[in-house]
Structures are given as structure tokens and as C-alpha cells.
Amino acid sequence: METEFVDWLLANIPADARLEVPPGDDAAVLRPPAMRRTVVTVDMLTEGVDFILDSNCSPHAVGRKALAVSLSDLAAMAARPEAALVAVALPRKGGDAIGRGLFQGFMELATEHGVTLAGGDTNTWDGPLVVSVTVIGSVLPGRAWRRDGAQPGDHLLVTGPLGGSLLGRHLAVSPRCREAVSIAEKFSVHAAIDLSDGLSLDMARMMRASGTRGVLHLADIPIHADAIRMSRSASDTQSPLEHALTDGEDFELLLALPPSEAQNLLAATQNGCVDLQITMIGTVETGSGLTAIHADGACHPLEPKGFLHAFES
Amino acid sequence: METEFVDWLLANIPADARLEVPPGDDAAVLRPPAMRRTVVTVDMLTEGVDFILDSNCSPHAVGRKALAVSLSDLAAMAARPEAALVAVALPRKGGDAIGRGLFQGFMELATEHGVTLAGGDTNTWDGPLVVSVTVIGSVLPGRAWRRDGAQPGDHLLVTGPLGGSLLGRHLAVSPRCREAVSIAEKFSVHAAIDLSDGLSLDMARMMRASGTRGVLHLADIPIHADAIRMSRSASDTQSPLEHALTDGEDFELLLALPPSEAQNLLAATQNGCVDLQITMIGTVETGSGLTAIHADGACHPLEPKGFLHAFES
């Protein structure tokens, strides 16, 4: 029953000094941090597209992922996470247990990132599970990273190894919020985007927004062991590199920085000052689209590929 | 295709000075109004429960309603609307046209209420339409209305006539944002809630949150002409009063005020200073639950009834 479920939720939300009015009223009232901007984004996950509830994917994992993908968007803006709201459509049958598991996974990651749950909406219906998470962060005025600031001459850096996330990492996302805030404090970043739909597609989005061309050194792309494992499967037709370029759900960050800043950031990761694998994978040039450069120096235009929602007419 | 649809959306969002970074990046950046709190709430509507897309209910109407129900929650806090985010799961078949209609209805109401669209997420899937709307408002510190502030001795006032919203008003919701902000500026309101799930159920929620009992003068409840029309239908088994007590989706406001303030507010509506029908329907007393008083003075406990989401085990 909705009332009991909501009472249980409200009883399990920790108090937070940022809330003038906590969840449970018609809306929550937040004290915005002084002298900072408010950063907002929403992501919706649907069963059958973003996850399938089965023995490999619990409601707990879905709750965690639903928050993680939104937090990854805050990381791409170098914003500090503050609060979240979650709306769910729960299957009528078994929805109570699904809702509780989902909430627990959500709260686990919220606690790790200092996010207070500021509101929600619980629905039941005859359809599959749908979860929509809005996150609210904060950033100093004029200091949010954007995807449209890449400039010719910038170096392109990427966090983490990429590809093969479907083998499990897509459910155990570690949004790069702390790392992004830490990098933003010390280095001048021209543009940033998170890798949700595939390196080539997300890089193409940054280049399109910036009015620039991305040059990608294929041999330098950090390939995840999962991408290699996937390509070894008999039914798989893609190389590890193709997985790294197109799989998506890496939730790593692609950054464009002036060369000197890029070198400083790479040096900081190598001496352990920034606790993150960061790799230089290319440069920003004039023009548009993507250019791939092979190890032997051959180059060709690269068609961006990755995950896109499609309509049928 | 997602890219074209999102490009069309972004091209049709008016610029707004409150946005430091507009929609289209990983997140939007808002300039929060100085010296005010941030008010946030989310509501999700699902096809088959909250609406059925047919000749009586267009995607345009759903878009408008999805924003309206969230704005009604801001009205219940006396918050000024500022921004909204909308996440949709569109049916794969025909989703493009549904999405465009929905956006147009959404933007129509957003413009009426000075709401800027700060973000969104567009998904397609094989399920029915799901829309989740987060709204962000602002209010002076300590001035948000709450549902837990009703005090014994308060008068209970309700806006608008109630009941029978299913005959069409549930799709043409007029959230009481402007009226609430105007009342909050001039009158001391102890508690407020919006009537989304039915007068008796929402009043019971206010009483429960406040630790008080609500006494309802049944003869004073303003009954909408739609409630009378519904109860005249051959298949209908409820009286107009029962419709007014339990139908829900009125999206009017229930307010608890000290007697002198209640009288001042009623006088202001009668002389036209507040442009709204407001009716005194009862009082707040010690105890718990609801008491109904009939025209002849007979009284009995009133069981709250209205719309609740239910699980099946």
C-alpha cells in the first residue's frame, strides 16, 4: 500500500541540514549553498532498455544505477552533488519489494556522494519498472564545465579504460564526481562530457557543440579488460577497440584542455596527486566530425556510433 | 530519431536569464534567486493510470497536466515557480508526434507560469507513455507553507468547487501558484496542502502531519457542477458530496488559518482583492482523524477515501 511504503521511505531518510523542509510535505525546501549556482539534470531508466530485472540485476542495483547516471552528468559539469529526487512507476505485482530494494541501492550511493534525498513520487501500474532521478548540484558562478568549450589545439583526455560495460560495470557505475571537482579546482578544463552512449558518439557531441573536429589516436584509447573478454566470445563480432569506441555506459569523462594543462593533469595522475587513470587519446582541431588515426599513421573519418533512442513511424 | 527530436526541442526552448548554462549540456546551470530557498518536487504520470491517450486526451493535454500537477505542489508551499525538468518514456511507435505534442502542451503552461525548461531526458521503449516532471520554485526563508502546521482553533478554507474532475478538469488543471503566492504575502497561513487525491484523504494527511483533528461541515463543502453531473449518470453510485470528498484531481488548495486571518482572507475574496472562490468548510480541533458534521448537527467519524496506489503481493 502506497501509504505504508511512503511512511517506510520517510522513516529511512537521514536528516540533513541542507533541508529547511524535509521530504513528506508537498515539496521539500532546500537551503541553496551561498554564492553558488544550482546545477540540475534528470535521467530516466526503463526496464527492458536500460536494465532487465533478473538474477544478475536486482532492484538494489537499479536504484544505485539510476542515481549514478544522473550523478555522472553532474561530474561532467564539475558540480558538487547536493540533493536528488526520485520518481518511480513500480509494477503492481511485487512492487513493494522492488521499491524497497531500489531505495536501498539508491541511498547507498547517495550516502557515498553526500546527496540528500529531497523528494519523490511513488506510483504503481501494470507496466514494467521506470525510474526517473533528478539531481541537484552546485558550482561556483562561471565555473561549470561545458561541452561546447573545446578549442583547436586542446588535448583530449579520457578517464578510465573503456568498453565492455555490459559484462557488469553498467550496473556498478562509479560516477566521477569527486574526481571532477578535484580536477576543476586545480586545472583549466575547456570542455567536458560524460561517456554514457559511447566514446565516439559522446566525443562527436562535444565536437559538434564546440564547432571543432576531434582527432582520435586509436592506439592510445585505453581498452577495458571487459572489452577484450566480450570480443573473445564466439557470438561477438566486434574488436576490443570497437567496443571501447561504441559500447557506452562507461560513465567516464572526456576532457578537452590546453596542452600545458593537459600535461600538468597527466603528471598529477602519474605522481598520485589525482587518483584516477587518465589517458591522452587525441587532439581538437579546426573542422567538424571525427578523424581516426591508426598506429601506422593512416587516417580516415570516423563515423560516431553508440546508443541512441529511435522512433518507429 | 532521438538526435533530431532533441535538436527540435532545444531550438524551441526560449532563452531565459535565470540560466547560466541552458539545456543541451550534460546539465543546466541555474542562477538561484538571491536570499531565497529552493523548493523542489517531482511527479510522474503513467498512461493507463493518470491518463489514456485517446480522442479526449491528446499528448498536448498530457504535457500540460504533467507540469500542472507538479506546479500545484509548489502552490501548496506558496513557492514561486522558477524552472522545470521533464523526463519521458515515449512509445517507440509514434513517439515522435507524441513527444512534440507533449512538449507543446508543457511549454504552454510553463510560459503562463514563468517557468523555464531547464532540462530533460528523452527515452523510447515498447511500453506506454510515462512522463516525470520535476519543478523548482523559490520562497523566502522560513516562509514556505507546510502541511504540518495546523493548530486547534484554526479555520479550514478550501479554494474552488470540488468533485467530478474526471469530466474534463483533470486535464485542464489550473495550478493555484499565483493565488498562493498572493495569499502568502498578505495572510498568515498555518498549513496548506493541494487536493490531488481527494478532499477527505488530503485533509486527513494534513491532520495527521499536524497531530490534529479535522472537523468538516458537510453542508459547506463547495460542490462542482461536474460532481452533480457525474452523480446523475445512470452508472454512478455516488452523491455529489461523495464526489467532492473523494474524487481527487481538483488541484485546489486546503488552508488552515487562525480565525481572524481566515475571516480577513474570506473578506478579501468577497471584495475582489483575491480573485478566487474560497469557502470555509471546517475547523481544526484536538485529537486525530476527521469528523463530519451534517446540516442537522449530527456528527460521525469520516473515513478518508481517495486515490491511492496499491501493490499486489
- What gap in Å lies between CA A146 and CA A206, rounded to an integer? 9
Architecture of domain A2-139: 2-Layer Sandwich (3.30)
Cβ count within 10 A of residue A12 = 12
**Contacts (Cβ under 8 Å, ≥6 apart) of B136:** A38, A40, B30, B38, B39, B40, B81, B82, B83, B84, B85, B118
Q: What is the DSSP-derived secondary structure letter of residue B218? A: G
**Which CA distances in Å does A204 have to A160, A215, B266?**
19, 10, 60
CB B161 within 8 A of CB B277: yes
Element (DSSP H or E) covering residue A109 = helix A95-112
- What gap in Å lies between CA B148 and CA A23, rounded to an integer? 12
Q: The cell 507533449 sits on which residue? A: B102
- What gap in Å lies between CA B118 and CA B13, rounded to an integer? 9
Give which of A305, A308, A208 is closest to B1, Cα–Cα.
Answer: A308
CB B227 within 8 A of CB B244: yes
Chain-wide mean pLDDT for chain B? Answer: 94
Q: How far is A187 from chain B (nearest CA, A)?
A: 20
Q: Do A27 and B134 touch (CB under 8 A)?
A: no
Q: Indicate left, alpha or beta for B154 from its phi (over 0: left) and psi (-120 to 50: alpha).
A: beta
Domain spans of chain B? 2-139, 155-302
Entry field: residues in chain B:
313
Choose from B5-19, B167-181, B205-219 the range with maximum mean pLDDT.
B205-219
Residue of B30, B49, B74 lying closest to A40 (CB–CB): B30
Give the predicted TM-score (pTM) of the model. 0.95
Question: For A230-285, what is each residue's pLDDT tens digit?
Answer: 999 989 999 999 999 999 999 999 999 999 999 999 999 888 777 789 999 999 99
Residue of A27, A77, A310 lying closest to B41 (CB–CB): A27
pLDDT tens-digit profile, chain A (313 residues): 577 888 999 999 999 999 999 999 999 999 999 999 999 999 999 999 999 999 889 999 999 999 999 999 999 999 999 999 999 999 999 999 999 999 999 999 999 999 999 999 999 999 999 999 999 999 999 999 999 999 999 999 999 999 999 998 888 889 999 999 999 999 999 999 999 999 999 999 999 999 999 999 999 999 999 999 999 998 999 999 999 999 999 999 999 999 999 999 999 988 877 778 999 999 999 999 999 999 999 999 999 988 777 777 5
Q: What is the DSSP-derived secondary structure letter of residue A166? A: G
Residue B221 φ then ψ, to 5°: -65, 125
CB A29 within 8 A of CB A135: no
CB proximity B296 to A under 8 Å: no
- What gap in Å lies between CA B40 and CA A46, rounded to an integer? 23
CB proximity A101 to B under 8 Å: no
CB proximity A148 to B under 8 Å: yes
CB A259 within 8 A of CB A153: yes
DSSP per-residue codes, B131-186: EEEEEEEEE-TT----SS---TT-EEEEES-BS-GGGTGGGS----HHHHHHHHHH
**Contacts (Cβ under 8 Å, ≥6 apart) of B141:** A20, A31, B35, B36, B37
CATH number of A155-301: 3.90.650.10
Q: Do B119 and A42 touch (CB under 8 A)?
A: yes
The third-level CATH classification (topology) of the domain covering B155-302 is Phosphoribosyl-aminoimidazole Synthetase; Chain A, domain 2 (3.90.650)
Q: Which residue stretches of B22-131 are H helix?
A: 59-76, 95-112
**Contacts (Cβ under 8 Å, ≥6 apart) of B275:** B179, B269
Cβ count within 10 A of residue A141 = 11
b (16+ CB within 10 A) / e for A284-311: bbeeeebbbbeeeeeeeebebbbeebeb
- Give SS3 for B72: helix
Angle between helices B177-186 and B259-270 (to 10 degrees): 120
- Give SS3 for A298: coil
- What gap in Å lies between CA A28 and CA A18, rounded to an integer? 10
Q: Do B38 and A1 touch (CB under 8 A)?
A: no
Q: How, if at all, do strands A191-194 and A80-91 pair?
A: unpaired
Give ipTM to 2 decimals. 0.94
Residue of B39, B46, B125 lying closest to A29 (CB–CB): B39
Question: For B186-238, what is each residue's pLDDT tens digit?
Answer: 999 999 999 999 999 999 999 999 999 999 999 999 999 999 999 999 899 99
Q: Do B46 and A127 touch (CB under 8 A)?
A: yes
- What gap in Å lies between CA B9 and CA A3, rounded to an integer? 37
For residue A313, the model assigns a pLDDT of: 59
Residues in B 258-287 with any Cβ partner in A closer than 8 A: none
Q: How far is B163 from chain A (nearest CA, A)?
A: 21
CB A247 within 8 A of CB A201: no
Cβ count within 10 A of residue A220 = 14
Question: How are strands ordered across the β-sheet holding A155-159?
Answer: A191-194, A253-257, A155-159, A278-285, A213-217, A289-293, A299-301
